[in-house]
Structure 1
Amino acid sequence: MQKNILITGCSSGIGLACAAELQGLGYRVLAACRKPQDVERMNALGHTGVLLDLDDPTSVEAAARQVIELTSNRLYGLFNNAGYGVYGALTTISREQMEQQFASNFFGAHQLTMLLLPAMLPHREGRIVMTSSVMGLIATPGRGAYAASKYALEAWSDTLRMELHGSGIHVSLIEPGPIRTHFTSNVSQTQADQPVENPGIAARFTLGPEAVVAKVTAAFSSPRPRLRYPVTLVTVVVRWLKRLLPERVMDKILRG
């Protein structure tokens, strides 16, 4: 039986690349996008397009109902990949902007996952994969809102993994460092005259979306998937530095 996987944020970048790879491996990909024209494009690519705006609870409910209907209530995998960044000093970020950051990166993923679990639990198998970030491990000036949403996603995923223990459903986190996608160009900057930018050295360690695809594929296909999949040397180094260095030293490094 062909296994069904829902991927959010499929219009470009990581989501689009993963959709193509997983479809090639024989999965049926339900490709969720925020814009109707992108949903049509997913259908043209041979996926099953689903309209989904994570900022809108009503849209999430409608998408979940559609997925359950399309899969006859049997979903194998969920890749919560969609999200964006709000960048700027915390003093420039309003409550509304912070809420929108969490709506896209955290609240929507929670709502969607809870609505779809009933299509996974009875079958005693499945994978839930979350796109986190190196910013789910560290926080830096100007990226506080985005990092906070990813820190929340990390804690939420750890809890979900433990609560689903014994259910046959595995939960994994993908933790990319700098990846060549449209993410940076789509960032919402709160200070247009002082935009938050990656340091020049980051370009040396930036990889293409295919680096993430390999880890996502492993998370869905491995008999014993890892809890966390770091992507890029930056994430690997950060994880080790957090273990080895005092917090004040890490602060000094991260301040630049």
Structure 2
Amino acid sequence: MTQKSILITGCSSGIGLDAARRLHAEGWRVLATCRDAADCAKLEAEGLESFPLDLTKQSSIEDGVKETLSRTGGTLDALYNNAAFACPGAVEDLPSGALREIFEVNLFGLQELTRLIIPVMRAQGHGRILQCSSVLGLVGIRWRGAYVATKFALEGLTDVLRLEMRDTAIKVILIEPGPIPSNIRVNSIPHFERWIDWKASARRAQYEASLLKRLYEPSSKPDRFQLPASAVSDKILIALTVANPRARYYVTKATWISALSRRILPPRLLDWVMAKA
């Protein structure tokens, strides 16, 4: 049986790293990409195929696709768009530059990579595109406006892509994790420090009482809804292998509860619930 291939973005840690390891162990040919070459070297040291792919650079996206196809002989069975980052801060304090920067990775770069891969899948007559969304693609919480905006946009873009691909053999699937251990909090700090002038904000006291503590002094107590990254990999494997995958795969109880709450609660009550989150 021919070994199936998958291209994954954002494999330096967390969900992407676990997915790359799991699929490799399951017999997939995994092309695990990272933004930094040093992270790629670490993956290669443990036996994974890896090369740089920076979603903020058109040339890197194009080179990544060329490298992928040169290694696979011009085919690709699946794409898992996982790479993303966060820039915490109150919406009223978010400069447009911060939004442009986060959308460049979490949506625009992802879309460009997908756009370049679809013709390959069309030509071979099959393919699966998995998009890593989030519980924050279903509901919003305070301080996460920029990240929430990208994930809501990804949800809409993916829904339309799935509809448009109905007349092809390309399956489009959303993976929607809730709380999963990762480096996203630590990695968000430089973006927060670059873009958010919290000291001059009308919400300075709230930053000091809430967000700063969460960023710089995280609780050692685990989230009661938290699951390991392997729980996401479990859903990814299902989405890649079942004959008729679902449109969405929720991971963690938090995601299931949020999806249900969005359906049945009136907006004011949902706002109250999410304000407590």
Band the TM-score falls in, shorter-chain normalisation: over 0.9
Worse overlay, 192-201 or 69-78:
192-201
Secondary structure of residue in 2 paired with 1:138: coil
Corresponding residue of 2:230: 210
Q: What does the per-residue CA deviation read over 1:39-91, in whole Å, with 9 as the maximum and x for residues that have no partner?
A: 11222222221211111222111111211222221000000000011110112
Secondary structure of residue in 1 paired with 2:167: coil
* TM-score (norm: length of structure 1): 0.95
Corresponding residue of 1:15: 16
Corresponding residue of 2:62: 61
Q: Is 1:240 aligned to 2:260, yes or no? A: yes
Secondary structure of residue in 2 paired with 1:235: helix
Corresponding residue of 1:221: 241
**Equivalent residues in 2 for 1:95-174, closer than 5 Å:** 95-174=96-175
- Tell me by how many angstroms 1:166 deviates: 2.8
Q: Is 1:184 aligned to 2:204, yes or no? A: no
Corresponding residue of 1:51: 52
- Tell me by how many angstroms 1:22 deviates: 0.6
Structure 1, unaligned runs of 5 or more: none
Distance 1:71 1:100 in 2: 32
Worse overlay, 63-72 or 8-17:
63-72
Distance 1:222 1:45 in 2: 29
- Tell me by how many angstroms 1:183 deviates: 1.3
* TM-score (norm: length of structure 2): 0.88
- 8 Å CA contact 1:178–1:202 kept in 2: the answer is no
Q: Percent identity?
A: 39
Worse overlay, 32-41 or 185-194:
185-194
**Which letter does structure 2 place at the counterpart of 1:206?**
Q
- Tell me by how many angstroms 1:36 deviates: 0.6
Q: What's the RMSD between the two structures over aligned residues? A: 1.8
Structure 2, unaligned runs of 5 or more: none
